[in-house]
Each structure stands twice: as C-alpha cells, then as structure tokens.
Structure 1
Amino acid sequence: MQQTIANKIMKVDPRDAKLAMANMYVAFIALLVGGLAGLLQVLVRSGQFKLPWGIGYYQVLTVHGVLLGLILTTFFIMGFQVAAISRTVGPLTDGQRKIGWLGFWLMTLGTVAASIMVLLNEATVLYTFYAPLQAHWIFYLGLTLVVVGSWLLCVPQFMRYAQWRKEHKGETSPLLAFMVVVNNLLWVVATLGVAIEVLFMLLPWSLGLIERVDVLLTRTLFWYFGHALVYFWLLPAYMAWYTIVPKIIGAKIFSDALARLAFMLFLIFSVPVGIHHQLTEPGIDGLWKFIQVVLTFFVIVPSLLTAFSMFATFELRGRELGRKGLLGWFKALPWKDSRFLLPFIGMVAFIPGGAGGIVNASHQMNQLVHNTIWITGHFHLTVATTVVLTFFGVAFWLIPHLTGRVLTKKLNFLGIVVGILWATGMFIMSSAMHIVGLLSGAPRRSEYSEYGGAAQATEWISYQIAQAVGGTILFIAIILITYLVIQLAFFAPKGEQDFPLAELSPGAEKTPAILENFKVWGVILVALIIFAYTVPIIDIIQNAPPGSKGFNNLW
C-alpha cells in the first residue's frame, strides 16, 4: 500500500530539486579538491615527490580527511535525502524549504571558513582534530556552522515526514522516507557529542577563554560521534540498495519489515560504541571498553540482514528471468548499467571492509593494527569504496532527474569506466595499506621522510609506491566523475530521467507497527547511550589531571 502511494509522486518538486542540487554541487567540488589532496599525500608517501611552495604534508592530509570524510558525505547525503523526501511524501512547504536553504548556506559558510584556515596552515589538526593539537578558532566555528546547518537541513525532512504521517493515519509510511528519518535521527544524536566538544571545550580553548582541556574527554566525545558517523555514511548507501537497486534490476523489495528492522538496529547500536576506537588509551576502565566492544558486534546483525535481503532480491529476480542453479542469477544482473554496477561493486567491497571492522573492534587484534596504515586501508574500503561508489551510482540518475536531463548511453559507459577505475585504484591502494600495516606496522599518519631507519623505509617503499599508483588511478576517476557531473547537470540532452523506486513484493509480510514507533526505539537508544557513557565520562572528569577537569575549565 505504502509503495503504491509513494509512486503516485513520480518526480521531485523543481523547487526541492534546486535545494538538492545545491548540496550536490558543493559535494562534488569537495570531492575534486579533497581528491587532489589525497593524490598529493600518496605521492609524498612514495618518497618520489615533494610538496611545492612550502605546503606541509599534514595540511593536505587535513584537507583530504575533512573535505571527503565530512563535507562530501554530509552535503551529498543531505541533497539525496531532500530529493528522497520530496519524491516519496511530497514537496516541502515554502517555510520548510526556507529552513533547508538556511541550513545549506550555514553549512557552506562553515565549510569555506574551515577550509581557509587549513589552507593558511592555521588548522593542521587532521580529520580527527585531536587535542592537544590546536586550530584557529575560525576552524572550530566553521565546523560548528556545518553541524548546525546540517541540523537545519534535517528539520524540513522531519517536518514533511510528520506531516505525511498526520495526513495518512494508520498507513505505513514510504520505506525510503522512513529510512531518511532514521538516518537524520542518528546524525542529530551523534553530532551532539562533537558539538559539545567543540562549543564547550575546543572553541573556548582556542579563543584563550580557558587555559587547557581534558584531552581524553575531548577524544571520547569525538568518538561518540566518530563511529556513528560511519553509519551516517553507510545508511544512505543502504537506502539505495534496499529501495533503488531492486527497481533498476527489475525486481521488487524483498521485505519492507526486514529493511525497517535493520535500520532501527543501526540507529540504536551505532552510537554507544565509540570507545572501541580508544582501546589502547589509558584512563578508560577495561570493563567499559569490553562492554562497548560487545555492543559494537551487535551492529553485525543488521549488516547481515542487509546482505541477506540484497542477495535474496538478486536471486529472486534471476529466478523470474529463468536462471537456474546456485549462482545462475549472477548472469541475469544488468552489468552494463552504471546505476547498478557501481553500487554492486560497493556491496562486494563491504565484505572485506566489514571483516576488517571486526578486526579493528577486537581488543587483541586491535593491538596489532592500531594506528597503523591498516586502519587507513579499512576506511578506504568502507567509506571510500562502498559508500562513494554507491553515491556515484545514485548521482548518475539523481542529477539528471533533478536537472531535467537524461543519462545517455555514452555517459552511462563513462560511468562504468569510473566504476572500474575506482575499484582498480582502490584495490591496489587499499591492499598495499592493509599489507604494510599488518606486516610491518607502517604508521597511519606519517609521511615518508619521517620513517624510522633506512632498512624500515626500504621495506615499506614498494608498498608506498603501490599506494601512489592506486591513488593516481583514483584521481583519474575523480576527474572523469567531475566531467560526468558537469555533463549531467548542464549539457546532457534534456528529457525525463526517472527516480527509480521499487515497489514491495506482493508476497512480503505486513510491516509490524512497532517498527515505526520512534518513541519506543528512541527510549532504547537513550537508555543504551546513558548506560554506555555515563560511568566512563564521570570517571574521566573525576580523574582528570589538576587544572584540566573536563568542563570545570568553563567556570
């Protein structure tokens, strides 16, 4: 029923499309600049290149991490979600749209401010901006504006969904709109941690209003946000996998209830797990590290539900087309459609990426790889392959849909080339990172010139050159995707590009009402956060060094 209602709205409202595209433009500018910084990084690490004009290695590292990890992802996700809400539950009202535009401009202003500080070498504090590294106060203010702006962009999405629920009492909401709301809830809850860190600690510290901050507390607040951020990246990719990819291959959604359950499980288990990034840090009791590691492993459940649902969808579609045997469905998939191929490559990459995540969250195995470049390789498998390739696949139909153009055969072919280049470059680069990190303990953030000892440097050099080769291939793909985005936004033939949205399989079970009861899941989420973080944060504050007792610096 809900899918039939949603499909009556076949297009994103043109006014909402402008807001969505504004976010897309900033996202792909961030991809180009951040990708260039990444290329410079791997070239420097190879030992065969030196940065010109006095540019520091850690400057480009910070640019790469912030622009790609925070700016590209947040702007793309917000643009996609605004379009998804408009497509499924109807256009935003004029008032809601104004709030969205205000949020967009605050995010853009914050991005520009933070970027300028990094380029001026006033905020070379890396992606995690760990204290005691200190940035210019404008950098922290810029990040604050990005977060607040994103909250404002979430507001009209919440409001329009609530309006639909009020107008359709007793009906199950469209699946894609429901997923957007879950992801926005996750984002708002997660960013509370980094907002507290920046507003009450790092920003006053950089302004000289307080003398020092509790480093462990700032890191704990960051990772309260930092791990949930991974799922804020992943869930929009899952949205495309559950609701868009089935339509592209001619299938139907396998199970609405299973999809909603997976998203609710991601919501409640993605936030109270950040301490597993701090397993090597003193000052946090081992019991609470163990508890959060256990909670981390619960996230495997919705990941496996998603894998089952997707491959069940592929198999059922293959059976419909007459394919037989265990893997007969594989040949039936539309491999020449870039809208499918890139997300599928992303799905496959998440298998080793997820396995690496289990290693990172396991205490004994984490000791071996912690702060080695293995961790960097892991991130490049998850967000930089699984998420980014899915985003590219979404962009190939979403951008022309929003701009009134079409994805031509030529542009579709170039999209396939992008996917192959990206998968190849990332396989080479990420594999080298994993291997040298695991076997030799190559450091995560150091440039070539800082390696300790000639013998060690010689051992690592071939892997660093491999990273440079992979990074170069990836930057070629970035140039090509930039060309594609420009074509799809401004020069492709005008026409009607559909917003592919799958219908629910007729044989699917009815969705239980509990899966849309946000009050119940919200209570569970808050209870888990209180349980997982109250005692560790109290311990950190009570046992802080003299003159650095957490928030006491503020008064």
Structure 2
Amino acid sequence: MTTATVTKEIKNKNSSKENTTTKEFTKVDRRDAKLALAHIYVAFIALLLGGLAGLLQVFVRSGQFTLPAGINYYQILTVHGVLLGLILTTYFILGFQTAAISRTSGPLSNKQRTIGWVGFWIMTIGTAAAAIMVLLNEASVLYTFYAPLQAHWIYYLGLALVVVGSWTVSLSQGLRYIQWRKENKGKTSPLLSFMVVVNNLMWFVCTLGVAAEVLFQLLPWSLGLVERVDVLLSRTLFWYFGHALVYFWLLPAYMIWYTVLPKIIGAKIFSDSLARLAFMLFLLFSIPVGVHHQLTEPGIDGFWKFLQVVLTFFVVVPSLLTAFSMFATFEMRGRELGGKGLFGWFKKLPWKDSRFLLPFIGMVAFIPGGAGGIVNASYQMNELIHNTIWVTGHFHLTVATTVVLTYFGAAFWLIPHLTGRVLTKKMNDLAVTSGIMWTVGMFIMSSAMHIAGLLGAPRRSEYSTYGGSEQAAEWIPYQIAQAVGGTILFITILLIIGIVINLIWFAPKGEEEFPLAELAHGAEKTPAILENFKLWGVILVALILIAYTFPIFDIINNSPLGSTGYKFW
C-alpha cells in the first residue's frame, strides 16, 4: 500500500472478498495526482501569460502607454480573454475535479486514467495551435470570436480541440462515478463526486452550442467553403454556451464552499440534500438563458428575450440556498467556539488561514457581482451599460474575484497534497498577503471599470480610438485607476506563482490533507430523486427546447443569406 493510496477498509468477517461499499478514500491516488497536476501546471502558466496581457491592456487604455511595434491591442485583448477566461479556468477545473473524483470515489482505473491523459493532450495541442495563431496576429477576435471578425481556421480548430479534449477528461471522471454507483447500489454517492458529474453534464450540454458554431459556421467560413455566415445565429449559438460557461467556472467554487470550507473551520456539511438540490437547479437554469446577453440585438422576438430573462432570474434560488447554507455553517461553528452576541461568531473564524480567507473573500465579492448581474440581465438597465466597460468590471468581480480567489485558496492545499509536500506557515502567510493584495487591486480596478462604464466608456476599444473625444476626458482618471489596480494584480500574480512553485518543488515533504467535511449528525437522508439524472436531464432538454427552438427557427427562416451556402453544395 503506497502513501498516496491509503484507505480505511472495513471487511465483512463472513467473506474473504473486499467489501467495496465500505471503503473510504482519504487521499488522491498518486497516478491520478500526476494527471491533476498536469492540468494545474497549464492553468498557472496561463495565469502568468494572461495576467501580463491584462497589465499591458490597462496601460494602453490609460493613454499613458503605447504598445511596441508589431503588437496589436486586440491581440493582447484576445490573449488575456482566452488564457484567463477559457484556458486557466478549464484546466484548473478539470485538474481539481480529477483529484476530487479520486479522493471521494476512489482511484481511476487504468483505462479511465488513459482517457483522461488523452483528453489532456488533445486540449493542450488545441491550446498551442490557437495560441500560435493569436501570436501571429491571425486571430485577434477576442475570446467571444464574434463574426464578422474572422480568425485563421487553425485558431477555430484549436479551440474545438480544447472543447473535445475537455469532454474526454470529463468522460474519465464520469466513468469512475458510474463505477462507484455500480459498486455501491442503493447508496448515496459521495457529494463531491456528484457535484463533479453535474458540472460536467452542464459543460457538455452547453458546449454543444459553441461546437456547432465552430464546426458548421466559423471553420467552413474561414476555410473558404462558404462565403458568409449568419452573424445572429453564430452569436446565439455562442451565448447558448457563453452564459453556462460562467456557471462552469462557478460550480467548482461552490464545490469547495460546500464540502471543503466546513472541514477547514472544523464544522460539518449543513445539508447534503440542499447542496445537491442547488446544483441540480444550476444545471436547469444555467443553459436556457443565453439570449439575455443579446437584449439589444434585433432578429430575436421580444417574447423569447423576456422568457430567458425570467429563467435567468430563477438562478437566484440556488445562489440564495448556497448563501444560507454557508453562512449558517459559519455562524454555528463560530458559536461553538464561543462567539457571543449578534456577530461574535464572525470573529471566531480562521482569518489567518489562507485556505479559508481567500474563498471567503470570493463569497463576499459575489454579492456586488450578483447585483451587477441583475443589471446586466434587465431590459432597461442593460440599455445603459451594454458593451461598456461596466460589463468587464462585472466579470472581474464574479470570475476574477469570486471564482479565481476560491481556486487560489484551494490550490494552496491541493498542490501540496498532490506533490507530497506541506503548506508551511511562511507560505500560508504569503498566501494570505496575496489574497489581501488581490482584493485591493481588484477593488480599485473593478470599481473604476463600473464607474467609467456608467459614464459610457466602451468595453473593448483601445485609447487611440476615443482618446481625442471630449467625453473621454471624463474617463481618463478611471482608466488610470484601472492601470493602478491592474499593476497591483500583476504583482500579486507573481507572488502567487512564487508560492505555487514553492509548493510544487521546494516545500518540505510531508502529508497535506485534502480537507473534506462530513455530513452533520441528524441531517435528513438525501432523497434518491436528487440523483435521478434521467429525470433532471429530461427537464433540462425540455427547458432548452422551449427557450431556443423558436428563436433559432426564426433566425434561420429569416436569414439574409438566401441561397448562399457551401461552395461544394
């Protein structure tokens, strides 16, 4: 028995066979750890390069800096969006989820592990191909890659490979979950494994939209097989994927909040049923809502926009369930530790523990981030801020603060767990410092973005396109503030990369816990219906068909392309 596969086993005295239904896994298998680490390595490389591109971006927007000859502003904008919005998040999520499955459902089989490695290399080849095209300035189309901006076909193929590779890695995780269910018939599956499967299912369903856009529109168009594409259809297919992408980023943070943070503070999971219900509701309401990103676009009937706005606001239900569950857990634990009065429990939380502090800051940031989301999804208020830098500020609150800070907090215990090292007090103190610095930098930058957006500052344009206008004079102080905040953030990125390097290669060898909380005593038994994926899948498909069938039919039926199509047709 290796140190990476320590298990507690209760054996049936009347049988010589291993009773797999009572096996508890306490560590990530060493072979699975290598697969998880490979993903995490790529994620942090993307953080460094994408962060540098972001720093250059805010400098240019401030009007105080000009890019060297040969570098295009929209080139670095694409690098920043793709590396941080797509590559950092996807790789970290899949690495974390591989570790989570191995920790809770048991080591992957050799076949499952091979599938995971195949997916990793497909993703990495696609990432390299897309990156080369961006560096050659052949794909400066932002991470949304809106037509009629056209990239080199290799860029589109590269991103398609990233998606296909992610499906393959997700398949390896799903197969291990299915194996656990077969080995443990009638038992409730491990909560963290269940959450991983829900997130992967949502990812697969939502990426069908962007896969269809790339394979049937953008790739043939960039190859010259078709002369034109329907821009509205391509944007609709993208946002079918694009909003659920936000929840693909967010749900792993929720996994950490629900299952890891209670253990770190010495508490137990408040309710298994509530957590599973929240995830199922996210699955249902994260996909059929993408049209709320297209409220200002003609060609989609107002009724369908209104319907998807309503469905968008339903997502507040699982968010509030999560907020209630987490803060109830924090309060009960604080009072157990002697907290008195209305907020005395708050002081008892482990504020000097980076594993707790960073995700907690992320939770708090989600409050104004969610409020900004309500603005973005509202008819009248969206008219004011649509395509202004307000939207960018919103993304930096939700993704770059709530999600990324939670990922960082998890990385500081996950990486040493996978490498067989420990998070020392010195590294923990530096991690706490990095969390505070990130919060300060993001507060300055995001606040400036929100204010400048309300004043009409455009979302994607560089300074040279508006710097001479009279209105731009109002924006300049806020653009400079963005550069200040961005500088603090990049310094923080360097600090975080230093911590990660230490945890991978230089920290003392030892055993760092993969913290996983137990269910509270007396909690109600989880209803079997919450694990009935067939039922929830049918409801999900029905919602998607209701929300998208008629809008897409109308778009195709009223397409201005007429008989234009594939040349070989």
Identify whether the pair has TM-score above 0.5, normalized to the shorter chain.
yes
1:468 to 461, 479, 483: 483
Any idea what the Cα deviations from partners look like across 1:15-59, whole Å, max 9, x if unmatched? 000000000000000000000000000000011111113201000
Q: What secondary structure, in the 3-state scheme, does the structure 2 residue paired with 1:366 have?
A: helix
Shift of 1:127: 1.2
Give the C-alpha shift of residue 319 in structure 1.
Answer: 1.6
Whether 1:73 aligns to 2:89 is: yes
Query: What pairs up with 1:138-537 in 2 under 5 angstroms?
Result: 138-438=154-454, 440-451=455-466, 453-537=468-552
SS of the aligned residue for 2:24 comes to coil
The amino acid that maps onto 2:364 is: V
Are the equivalent residues in 2 in contact too, given 1:6–1:174 (CA < 8 A)? no
Aligned CA RMSD, in angstroms, stands at 1.3
Aligned mates of 1:123, 1:326 — CA distance in 2: 55
Greater displacement, 518-527 / 49-58: 49-58
CA displacement at 1:70 relative to structure 2: 0.3
- The C-alpha deviation readout for 1:252-309, integer Å capped at 9, x for no partner, is 0000000000000000100000000000000000000000000000001000000000
Once the two structures are TM-superposed, the CA of residue 237 in structure 1 deviates from its matched residue by 0.1
Q: Measure the CA separation in 1 of the matches of 2:70 and 2:134.
A: 14
Q: Which has the higher contact order (CA 8 A, sep 6+)?
A: 1
Q: Distance in 1 between matches of 2:49 and 2:563?
A: 38
State how far apart, in whole Å, the 2-side matches of 1:44 and 1:501 are: 44
Mapping for residues 111-126 of structure 1, pairs under 5 Å: 111-126=127-142
Letter in 2 for 1:470: G
Within the candidate set 532, 538, 541, 2:553 is matched to 538
- Distance of 2:435 and 2:274 partners within structure 1: 29
Report the residue type matching 1:517 in the other structure: N
Task: String of CA shifts for 1:203-238, please: whole Å, max 9, x gaps.
Answer: 010000111110000000000000000000000000
Distance change >3 Å, CA 157–CA 306, structure 1 → 2: same
| Contact 2:28 2:107 (8 Å CA) reproduced | yes
Give deviations 1:425-473, integer Å, cap 9, x for gaps: 00000000001101x1100001111116442222111000000000000
Residue aligned with 2:382, SS:
helix
Displacement of 1:325 in angstroms is 1.6
Distance 2:342 2:568 in 1: 63
SS at match of 2:102: helix
CA contact (8 A) 1:213 1:548 kept: no
- Amino acid aligned to 2:234: T
| 1:359/1:366 contact within 8 Å kept | yes
Amino acid across the alignment from 2:488: I
Counterpart contact for 1:7–1:88, Cα < 8 Å: no
Cα distance in 1, alignment partners of residues 568 and 228 from structure 2: 10
CA 1:292–1:361 in 2, change beyond 3 Å: closer, same or farther? same
Matches of 2:281 and 2:563 in 1, distance apart?
A: 37
The structure-2 alpha-carbon separation of the partners of 1:251 and 1:7, relative to structure 1 and needing over 3 Å to count, comes to: farther
CA distance in 2, matches of 1:553, 1:89: 51
1:19–1:100 contact (8 Å) kept in structure 2 = yes
C-alpha distance in 1, partners of 2:453/2:168?
40
Counterparts of 2:477 and 2:528, CA distance in 1: 56
Query: Runs in 1 of length 4+ with deviation above 2 angstroms?
Result: 4-8, 452-455, 546-549, 551-555
Contact residue 230 and residue 561 of structure 2 kept, 8 A: no
Return the letter of the residue paired with 1:140: Y
Query: Structure 1 counterpart of 2:510, which letter?
Result: G
Q: What's the TM-score, normalizing by structure 1?
A: 0.98
Contact (CA 8 Å) 1:100, 1:153: kept in 2 or not?
yes
What is the number of equivalent residue pairs in this alignment?
Answer: 550
Contact 1:212 1:553 in 2 (8 A): no
Distance 1:274 1:445 in 2: 20
* Deviation digits for residues 318-366 of structure 1 (CA, Å, limit 9, x no counterpart): 1211212221111010000000000000000000000000110000100
After superposition, what is the alpha-carbon deviation per residue over 1:388-419, rounded to whole angstroms, capped at 9, x for unaligned? 00000000000000000000000001100110
Q: Which residue identity is paired with 1:308?
A: F
Q: Is contact 1:66–1:126 with CA below 8 Å preserved after alignment?
A: yes
Deviation at 1:554, TM superposition (A): 8.0
Aligned residue type for 1:430: S
- Matched with 2:24 is 8
Q: 1:341 to 1:548 in 2, by over 3 A?
A: farther
Structure 1's 552 and 208: CA in aligned 2 closer, same or farther, altered over 3 A?
Answer: closer
Whichever residue aligns with residue 475 of structure 1, its letter is F
1:470-504 alpha-carbon deviations (Å, 9 max, x no partner): 00000001001111111101110000000000000
Q: Equivalent residue for 1:59?
A: 75
Partner of 1:96: 112
Looking at structure 2, the residues matched to 172 and 466 of structure 1 have their Cα atoms a distance apart, in angstroms, of: 51
Residues 128-183 of structure 1: CA deviation (Å, up to 9, x unaligned)? 00000000000000001000000000111110000100111111001000000000
2:460 and 2:544 mapped to 1: Cα distance? Answer: 31
**Aligned to 1:455, what secondary structure does the other structure show?**
coil
Measured in 2, the distance between the counterparts of 1:554 and 1:404 equals 57
Identity of aligned residues (%): 80
- Is the 2:63–2:467 contact (alpha carbons within 8 Å) kept by the matching residues of 1? no
Structure 2 distance, partners of 1:60, 1:6, is: 52
The whole-number CA distance in structure 2 between the counterparts of 1:333 and 1:248 is 10
The residue type equivalent to 1:321 in the other structure is: L
Gaps of 5+ in 1: none
Q: Give the 3-state SS of the residue equivalent to 2:260 in structure 1.
A: helix
Q: CA deviation at 1:68?
A: 0.3
Match of 2:150 among 118, 134, 139: 134
Contact 2:228 2:561 in 1 (8 A): no
Q: Distance in 2 between matches of 1:102 and 1:204?
A: 26
Instruction: Identify if the C-alpha distance between structure 1 residues 213 and 253 changes in structure 2 by more than 3 Å, giving closer, same or farther.
Output: same
SS at structure 1 position matched to 2:137: coil
